[in-house]
């Protein structure tokens, strides 16, 4: 009897529905909980296996598979001839903190908002007065709206259509998320993607387990497209605004550029250009919490992490005052 040839499972190749520019991704590790894939144009990416709905299998020819495996193993199929590579880009200058200390930043903040967090300027121009509804209520009204319409009870009693509309209105309720990255593509979702988005939003806001991992799963499950039907990546402000408004005592809204610069002020190094992932959120949250601690040590009284977000964002968004030149 002829010996039996063992059957070896072929390597699995996937594509990310929301990131087609990444190319084909070879699964290089599967430990049951996480998947690690090597994408031909974006390198290694890690996913929560049970929630990686955006990964779809693809079939490659033998030659394509060989080329992908070669890249994954760090080998180039055809080395570039000497001198054919593009000129190396000039090294980017390291970003500099706008404020040396949080104390300096508080001085700038109080020039913008006399009286600080409790002053009339901040309440009427940034936070909003309790009880005032709509856009005039600013972030205070948006927080109240989120806690009323996207609470755990609301998810059990409201129709899917009502929940979706309330989520859309919340995206419009503040200037945290630009319409072109938030309310406009969100409103344009087809029915199937709306159902997926609501399920992911419910898990984000009321699920169990680590919030950062739920945030990553939410960003991967939401399908946004522009007016031409091209897929749009979920941004940090979009992904984080729902939790930050529902429970601003625990969760932070992320504007990556401002928080990356803030990290330099409080002694934390955070990359601004990273995709919406769990570890990135933890890093940004550390910046917000450390800033919050230093504000309180300095005698300031932010109500919650939304006030801390406003402190960081507004002090970095405002143009620096021009230098005064002596005559």
Whether residue 144 is found in the same domain as residue 255: yes
Per the domain annotation, does 96 fall within a domain? no
181 contact partners, CB below 8 Å, separation of at least 6: 224, 232, 235, 237, 238
- The DSSP secondary-structure symbol of 136 reads G
Residue 45 belongs to a domain with what CATH number? 2.30.30
Whether residue 53 is found in the same domain as residue 134: no
CA–CA separation, 7 vs 69, rounded Å?
19
Whether residue 47 is found in the same domain as residue 184: no
Per the domain annotation, does 52 fall within a domain? yes
Per the domain annotation, does 54 fall within a domain? yes
Whether residue 250 is found in the same domain as residue 151: yes
Number of domains in the chain: 2
Q: Among the three residues 57, 72, 87, which one is the final residue of a domain in this structure?
A: 72
Per the domain annotation, does 53 fall within a domain? yes
Per the domain annotation, does 78 fall within a domain? no
Whether residue 68 is found in the same domain as residue 106: no
> Minimal CA–CA distance to 239: which of 192, 292, 270, 284?
284
CB atoms within 10 A of CB 17: 13
Whether residue 221 is found in the same domain as residue 264: yes
Whether residue 47 is found in the same domain as residue 186: no
Assessment of whether the complete model's pTM goes beyond 0.85? no
For tokens 């990444």, what's the residue? 22
H helices of 151-190, where?
Answer: 152-157, 160-172, 183-187
Whether residue 173 is found in the same domain as residue 306: yes
Per the domain annotation, does 5 fall within a domain? no
Whether residue 36 is found in the same domain as residue 123: no
227 contact partners, CB below 8 Å, separation of at least 6: 188
Whether residue 226 is found in the same domain as residue 126: yes
Burial 80-95 (b: 16+ CB within 10 A, else e): eeeeeeeeeeeeeeee
Walk along the chain (327 residues) and give the pLDDT tens digit of each residue: 444 444 334 468 988 776 777 888 888 888 877 888 888 877 888 887 776 777 888 888 888 888 888 777 764 444 444 444 444 445 567 788 999 999 999 999 999 999 999 999 999 999 999 888 877 889 999 999 999 999 999 999 999 999 999 999 999 999 999 999 999 999 999 999 999 999 999 999 999 999 999 999 999 999 999 888 899 999 999 999 999 999 999 999 999 999 999 999 999 999 999 999 999 999 999 999 999 999 999 999 999 999 999 999 999 987 654 444 444
Q: Which domain holds residue 300?
A: 102-317
Asked if 221 and 196 count as a contact pair (C-beta separation under 8 A), the reply is: yes
Whether residue 66 is found in the same domain as residue 140: no
CA 237 distance to own-chain centroid: 6
At 287, list the tokens: 């910046």
């Amino acid at each position: 009897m002829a010996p039996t040839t063992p059957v070896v499972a072929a390597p699995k190749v996937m594509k990310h529905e929301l990131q087609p520019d990444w190319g084909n991704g070879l699964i290089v590790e599967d430990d049951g909980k996480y998947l690690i894939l090597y994408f031909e144009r974006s390198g290694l990416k890690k996913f929560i296996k049970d929630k990686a709905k955006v990964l779809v299998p693809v079939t490659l020819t033998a030659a394509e598979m060989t080329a992908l495996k070669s890249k994954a193993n760090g080998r180039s199929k055809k080395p570039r001839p000497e001198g054919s590579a593009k000129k190396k880009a000039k090294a980017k200058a390291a970003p500099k903190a706008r404020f040396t200390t949080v104390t300096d930043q508080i001085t700038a903040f109080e020039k913008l908002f006399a009286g600080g967090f409790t002053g009339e300027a901040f309440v009427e121009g940034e936070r909003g007065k309790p009880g005032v509804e709509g856009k005039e209520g600013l972030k205070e009204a948006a927080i109240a709206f989120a806690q009323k319409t996207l609470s755990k009870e609301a998810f059990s009693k409201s129709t899917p259509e009502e929940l979706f509309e309330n989520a859309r209105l919340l995206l419009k309720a503040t200037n945290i998320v630009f319409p072109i990255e938030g309310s406009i593509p969100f409103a344009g979702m087809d029915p199937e993607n709306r159902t997926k988005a609501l399920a992911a939003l419910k898990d984000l806001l009321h699920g169990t387990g680590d919030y950062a991992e739920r945030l990553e799963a939410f960003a991967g499950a939401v399908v946004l497209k522009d007016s031409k039907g091209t897929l749009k990546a979920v941004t940090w402000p979009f992904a984080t605004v729902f939790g930050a408004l529902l429970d601003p005592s625990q969760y932070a809204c992320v504007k990556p550029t401002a928080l990356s610069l803030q990290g330099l002020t409080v002694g934390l190094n955070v990359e601004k250009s990273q995709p919406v992932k769990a570890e990135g959120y933890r890093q940004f949250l550390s910046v917000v919490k450390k800033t919050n601690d230093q504000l309180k040590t300095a005698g300031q009284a932010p109500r919650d992490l939304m006030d801390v977000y406003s402190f960081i964002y507004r002090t970095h968004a405002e143009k620096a005052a021009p230098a005064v030149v002596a005559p």
